[in-house]
């Protein structure tokens, strides 16, 4: 059940103030009335109130000044102004200062409720729209892709260049390296960002279903086709279609896809009518398509159509310096999701992550962190818990290879140095941004940089 909306009511007429307070309380709102405007403004704390209803004509601090001060504290707070003298000039002045609505005395309780509901609904819609924009256009900005290694930076530099170029892109790399995330970054930083990003795993569907999913079908084209159906190409019109594991496309689908890439048109299954769409194709594979071309399981002409630009994602074992950043990112995500307070990894556990080969790459690391957090009872993920989910290297004597490299304090120092370098590299030396990412204050970051004598050339 959602929390009650908190409404502040301000009116120096005590009777009217109490009436509004009672009406709103009876309708499920959490309300507090004030007859002194100074007290209301002083007690107003941004984030603690969802709305304000205030009279204009009040002794001392009038409603327009109240409005201005509240908006100075919280520009997004909706404010309804009440007046018995609703002149055009006054209304314009109030609206210019940020009032959401004007309510003229005398008014019925129903009118007050109607205006309040409208204002809250409008504000909620603005919040949802802002969050959606942040999700779509923030989630896939380049600085939201976790990592600061040189190999990842080179990939992102290429992504930035090709995003605005409306060319086909083939993303290669092992399973779990983040190929779809890179495809999304290309789309959401391109001129097609306002249109759909549609993805399909070509290896997850049987041949007959894959063809109909991509191109759609006409009613009666086969048993079970009881109505016309759009394929994913039509649904992605104006946007981007991402073909994951494109090496699994059967030959008949390869032929149809090739024609589309050449002509930007195709036929639905069982239909003679031509369908024209404007779609950018981004594809990905963890297979060696050149070998598939040689053994004729993949068409050479289609390969060159898809591979206009190639992006190769390095495996996680070649991005060792990114492992601490990724691990902390996944820990923070799990803490936020489940309300836990895990602070990080014990130094020997972090060292174990760095030495593990990660055959499943980032996806495997994410799963290991989630599983470890589910089992861990302490503040830090320990090596004992971590070793339940990955194979920890051992010495011939049976001890941990990681412990031999140094004691706890040395391991912690190694982690902090690499972590700080990664933060600085990711944020281009911006200390404030690095501190925000790490959840530290700036003084702590400065102190650690001085402690470890980290110089600009160490992180550039």
For residue 193, give the CATH number of its domain: 3.40.50.300
Domain boundary among 73, 108, 136: 136
pLDDT in tens, 6-25: 999 999 999 999 999 999 99
pLDDT at 124: 78
The CATH number for 110's domain is 3.40.50.2300
Region label for 344, one of left (φ > 0), alpha (ψ between -120 and 50) or beta (otherwise): left
Mean local confidence (pLDDT), 413-439:
77
- The total of other beta-carbon atoms located within 10 Å of residue 448's CB is 17
In a shared domain, residues 310 and 322: no
Is 256 contained in some domain?
yes
The answer for residues whose C-beta is within 8 angstroms of residue 363's C-beta and 6 or more apart is 175, 176
Verify that 172 and 293 share a domain, yes or no.
yes
Tens digit of each residue's pLDDT (9 = 90 or more) over 414-423:
767 877 887 7
Q: Are 110 and 254 in a shared domain?
A: no
* Pair (157, 72) in one structural domain: no
pLDDT at position 382 is 93
What mean pLDDT comes out for the span 30-51? 92
Same domain, 303 and 322: no
Residue 300 forms part of a structural domain: yes
Cis peptide, bond prior to residue 106, ω within 30 of zero: yes
431 and 324 both lie in a single domain? yes
- Mean pLDDT, the chain, whole residue set: 85
Same domain, 158 and 68: no
pLDDT band per the 50, 70, 90 thresholds, residue 403: very low
pTM above 0.75, yes or no: no
Q: What integer pLDDT is reported at residue 396 of this predicted model?
A: 42
pLDDT score for 137: 45
- Given 79, 101, 136, the domain boundary residue is 136
Domain boundary among 254, 287, 314: 314
Residue 97 DSSP one-character state: T
* 127 and 165 both lie in a single domain: no
Whether 328 and 448 map to the same domain: the answer is yes
Q: Which structural domain, as residue segments, surrounds residue 450?
A: 317-459
pLDDT digits (tens, 9 = 90+) for 340-355: 989 888 888 888 998 8
Closest of 135, 192, 189 to residue 162, by C-alpha: 189
Domain with 434 in it: what CATH number?
Answer: 1.10.8.60
User: Does 346 lie in the same domain as 241?
Assistant: no
Both 274 and 150 in one domain: the answer is: yes
Q: Is residue 1 part of a domain?
A: no
Does any domain span residue 309? yes
Is 82 domain-assigned?
A: yes
- At residue 138, the pLDDT reads 43
Give yes or no: residues 174 and 292 share one domain. yes
Q: How far apart are CA 327 and CA 175, in angstroms?
A: 18
pLDDT of residue 130: 58
How far is the C-alpha of 120 from the C-alpha of 31, rounded, in Å? 14
Q: Per-residue confidence at 283, pLDDT binned at 50, 70, 90?
A: very high
**Per-residue pLDDT, 229:** 86
Q: Within a domain: residue 179?
A: yes
Domain total in the chain: 3
């Amino acid at each position: 059940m959602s929390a009650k909306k908190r409404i502040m009511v301000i009116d120096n007429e005590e009777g009217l103030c109490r009436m509004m307070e009672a009406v709103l309380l009876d309708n499920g709102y959490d309300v507090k009335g004030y007859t002194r405007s100074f007290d209301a403004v002083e007690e107003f704390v941004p984030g603690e109130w969802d709305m304000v209803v205030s009279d204009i004509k009040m002794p001392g601090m009038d409603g327009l000044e109240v409005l201005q001060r509240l908006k100075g504290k919280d520009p997004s707070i909706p404010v309804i102004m009440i007046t018995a003298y609703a002149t055009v000039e006054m209304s314009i002045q109030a609206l210019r200062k940020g009032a959401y609505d004007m309510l003229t005395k005398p008014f019925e309780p129903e009118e007050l409720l109607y205006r309040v509901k409208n204002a809250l609904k409008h504000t909620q819609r603005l919040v949802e729209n802002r969050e959606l924009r942040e999700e779509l256009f923030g989630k896939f900005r380049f600085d939201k892709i976790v990592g600061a290694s040189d190999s990842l930076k080179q990939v992102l530099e290429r992504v930035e260049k090709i995003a605005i170029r409306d060319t086909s892109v083939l993303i290669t790399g092992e399973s779990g390296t983040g190929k779809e995330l890179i495809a999304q970054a290309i789309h959401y930083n391109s001129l097609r960002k306002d249109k759909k990003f549609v993805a399909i795993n070509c290896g997850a569907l049987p041949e007959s279903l894959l063809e109909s999913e991509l191109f759609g079908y006409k009613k009666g084209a086969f048993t079970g086709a009881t109505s016309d159906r759009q394929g994913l190409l039509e649904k992605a019109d104006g946007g981007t279609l991402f073909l994951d594991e494109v090496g699994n496309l059967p030959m008949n689908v390869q032929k149809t896809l090739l024609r589309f890439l050449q002509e930007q048109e195709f036929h639905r299954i069982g239909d003679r009518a031509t369908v024209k769409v404007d779609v950018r194709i981004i594809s990905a594979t963890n297979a060696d398509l050149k070998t598939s071309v040689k053994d004729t399981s993949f068409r050479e002409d289609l390969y060159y159509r898809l591979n206009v630009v190639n992006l190769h994602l390095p495996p996680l074992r070649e991005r060792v310096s990114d492992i601490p950043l990724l691990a902390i990112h996944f820990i923070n995500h799990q803490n936020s999701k489940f309300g836990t307070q895990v602070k990080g990894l014990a130094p020997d556990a972090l060292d174990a992550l760095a030495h593990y080969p990660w055959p499943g790459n980032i996806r495997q690391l994410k799963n290991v962190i989630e599983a470890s957090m589910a089992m861990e009872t302490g503040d830090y993920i320990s090596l004992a818990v971590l070793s339940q989910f990955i194979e920890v290297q051992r010495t011939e004597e049976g001890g941990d290879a990681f412990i031999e490299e140094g004691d706890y304090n040395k391991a912690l120092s190694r982690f902090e140095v690499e972590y700080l370098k990664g933060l600085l590299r990711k944020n281009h030396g911006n200390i404030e941004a690095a501190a925000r990412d790490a959840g530290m204050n700036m003084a702590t970051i400065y102190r650690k940089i001085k402690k470890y004598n980290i110089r600009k050339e160490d992180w550039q």
